[in-house]
Amino acid sequence: MDGFTNALVLNNVDADAGDHEDFETKLESMLQVKRVSQITFLHSEALDRVPRIAHAFSTRRAERNEFTLGAASGNPVVQMNRIRFLSAIGTAGWPLLKLKQTHSAIVSDMESTLAATEPVEADAAVTRLQGAVLGIQTADCVPILVADSEARAVAAIHAGWRGTAARIAESTVSRLFSDFGIDPKDLTVSIGPHIGVCCYEVGEEVVEAIADPAAFERREEWPRAHLNLAQANRRQLLNAGLRDQQIEISSLCTQCREDLFYSYRRDGEKAGRMLSVIGIVS
Ligand SMILES: [Zn+2]
């Protein structure tokens, strides 16, 4: 039913896309679709309520249905797309702190803007820097954005099945506490668009690695288990001391919603990348 509701709202977005006006549309209780300067992105209502936090989840949609923000392709258009995206979401000119993502459990504490020129090998980052954004690239994996209620620090996490198995979300919450003294109870978390349980069939090696039966769904019509990445990460966040009301979960599936997202499972090696960013306003 969620998919149906979302489709209706996004049809409205489609219908309005030609008038070049900035607008925002409510997508569901949690994520809002916005279009600014012809660039469509998603905003978290929960993160919007935290003062002095800038954030967004990108989509593939701009003038055309092609707006990759991934560097892996070596596409010179990517640099320009990133500049346009940061400008559309209100962070024009902010350094974009980049990660060299390897599906690891590494959490980097970004104390300078060096990562804007030389990506740091990690799959999550925390920072107290103001006027800079952390960026995570995905095309099915979960982007998770985290903010402290006082805007003392933010975090961004890339969690595919390997990162989830390595409990990277839990480690990131621990780092916010150990590095900055931030209580998990003061955090707001948005789990962004990712491949849904509808499409994410996995092998038994994944079931074993994640070691949390509640993160999987099995149905008669499915030959193998399906992984619910959002649930798996939600359960880690609860384990790390958060409560459910602090965690917002996107129900949009990157593989089902070809109109909005890139999907590695659907598109293979040629898949573009979405960028999810968060930063503190100085
Ligand atoms: Zn799906």
Q: What is the DSSP letter of 213?
A: G
Partners of residue 165 on adjacent β-strands: none
Report, as an integer, the average pLDDT of 265-270: 92
CA of 244 to the centre of ligand 1 (A): 24
- Ligand 1 centroid to residue 22 C-alpha, Å: 29
195 Cα: distance to centroid of ligand 1 (angstroms) = 6
pLDDT digits (tens, 9 = 90+) for 209-243: 999 999 999 999 999 999 999 999 999 999 999 99
Q: How far is the CA of 19 from the centre of ligand 1 (A)?
A: 30
Q: What is the CATH number of domain 4-280?
A: 3.60.140.10
Q: How many residues does the chain have?
A: 282
Question: How far does the centroid of ligand 1 lie from the alpha carbon of residue 142, in Å?
Answer: 13
Parse the chain into domains and list their residue ranges: 4-280
Q: Given a cut of 50, is residue 14 above it in pLDDT?
A: no
Q: What is the pLDDT of residue 76?
A: 82
- pLDDT for residue 64: 87
Residues 38-52 have pLDDT tens digits of 999 999 999 999 999
Structure tokens at 47: 């993160």
- pLDDT of res. 217: 97
**Cα–Cα dist 89/33, whole Å:** 12
Question: pLDDT grade, residue 208 (50/70/90)?
Answer: very high
For 173, the token pair is 């919450």
pLDDT band at 15 (very low <50, low <70, confident <90, very high): very low
CA of 251 to the centre of ligand 1 (A): 10
Could you give phi then psi for residue 146, rounded to 5 degrees? -135, 135
Name residue, tokens 């099995």. 218
pLDDT > 90? residue 121: yes
Kindly report, residue by residue over 21-80, the tens digit of the pLDDT: 454 444 444 789 999 999 999 999 999 999 999 999 999 999 988 999 986 556 788 999
| pLDDT value for 30 | 76
DSSP assignment, residue 55? E
At 72 the pLDDT is 56
User: Is 103's pLDDT higher than 50?
Assistant: yes
How far is the centre of ligand 1, averaged over its atoms, from the C-alpha of 138 (Å)?
A: 16
The count of other CB atoms within 10 Å of the CB of residue 217 is 14
Q: Are 96 and 87 in contact (CB under 8 A)?
A: no
CA of 200 to the centre of ligand 1 (A): 7
